[in-house]
């Protein structure tokens, strides 16, 4: 009886498969240490590495994480571990530009950004000049913004300090000094470069008033040079 061709083909395929198996590398049990190292670097929570000696294989089983979430409490207190404060999620609707604030005790709320009141905002009108100081009233006029204002003080500064005696600066409102008591004027002492006046005697002004700056006294050898005079005021 002639040989069955199908059996011959199957037998040949089996021999070829056996030869190929001998050339395919396997992950042996000795590689478990390397795989454990990989697992630790990847931080597989609950991962188990097992050796299968029958099939000459190593299996990695990831069972997934367990336990509470990390602390995500943003209420401002110590936190509740795996909980997320309800106040953070039920603080109401917010408006454009609002910020989420905390009361430090687990409560939160959306609030508008605080507005600094006009009566604490400081404004400045600055006169300046280059070169050596000379006495006299300066003709330059500067008007404040529209509104009612209160002058707080005058700050004078020079780049070159006066010698021997102080450099004294005056400020006029509508042509009249704001320092009825002349001792209140900004006076930069000899050898120094900065001074603030006392509170002026005349402090009220509005947008229709104008300011001018004058120099009542200069230093002696040197006179003082390169100056600024700032009139500082707030809303009335």
> What is the pLDDT averaged over residues 7-20?
65
Strand ranges inside the chain, DSSP E: 48-52, 57-61, 99-102, 108-111, 123-132, 136-137, 148-160, 167-173, 176-177, 186-188, 194-196, 204-206, 211-217, 225-235
Q: What is the pLDDT of residue 76?
A: 45
Residue-level pLDDT at 183? 96
pLDDT higher at 173 or 22: 173
Residue 197 confidence (pLDDT): 97
Token duo for residue 111: 């609030």
In the chain, what are the domain boundaries? 21-66, 118-235
Top-confidence residue, 55 or 105: 105
Q: pLDDT band at 48, cuts 50/70/90?
A: low
pLDDT at 2: 59
Weakest mean pLDDT among 58-62, 87-91, 149-153, 229-233: 87-91
pLDDT band of 231, cuts 50, 70, 90: very high
pLDDT at 163 exceeding the cut of 90: yes
The better pLDDT of the pair 230, 76 is held by: 230
With cut-offs at 50, 70 and 90, classify the pLDDT of residue 63. Answer: low
Structure confidence at residue 95 (pLDDT): 74
Angle, alpha carbons 179-181-187 (nearest 5°):
70
Distance CA 67, CA 145 (A): 64
List beta partners, residue 127.
229
What's residue 34's pLDDT?
45
pLDDT in tens, 86-140: 444 455 667 777 777 776 676 777 788 777 766 678 899 999 999 999 999 988 9
pLDDT band at 59 (very low <50, low <70, confident <90, very high): low
Report which of residues 192 and 68 the model is more confident about. Answer: 192
CATH 2.102.10.10 fits 118-235, yes or no: no
Express each pLDDT in 145-154 by its tens digit: 999 999 999 9
DSSP letter for 167, please: E
Tell me what percent of the residues of the chain surpass a pLDDT of 90.
Answer: 47
């Amino acid at each position: 009886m002639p040989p069955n061709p199908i059996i011959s083909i199957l037998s040949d395929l089996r021999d070829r498969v056996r030869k190929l198996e001998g050339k395919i590398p396997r992950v042996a049990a000795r590689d478990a240490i390397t795989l454990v190292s990989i697992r630790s670097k990847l931080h597989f929570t609950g991962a188990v590495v097992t050796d299968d000696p029958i099939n000459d294989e190593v299996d990695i089983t990831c069972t997934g994480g367990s336990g509470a979430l990390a602390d995500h409490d943003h209420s401002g207190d110590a936190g509740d571990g795996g909980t997320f404060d309800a106040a953070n999620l039920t603080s109401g609707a917010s408006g454009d530009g609002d910020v989420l604030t905390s009361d430090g005790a687990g409560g939160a709320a959306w609030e508008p950004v605080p507005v600094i009141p006009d009566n604490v905002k400081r404004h400045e009108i600055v006169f300046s000049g280059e070169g050596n100081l000379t006495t006299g009233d300066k003709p330059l006029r500067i008007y404040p913004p529209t509104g009612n204002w209160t002058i707080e003080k005058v700050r004078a500064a020079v780049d070159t300090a006066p010698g021997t005696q102080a450099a004294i600066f005056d400020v006029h409102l509508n042509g009249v000094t704001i320092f009825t008591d002349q001792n209140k004027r900004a006076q930069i002492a000899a050898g120094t470069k900065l001074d603030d006046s006392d509170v002026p005697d005349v402090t009220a002004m509005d947008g229709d008033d104008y300011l001018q700056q004058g120099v009542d006294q200069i230093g002696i050898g040197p006179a003082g040079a390169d100056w600024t005079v700032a009139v500082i005021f707030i809303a009335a």
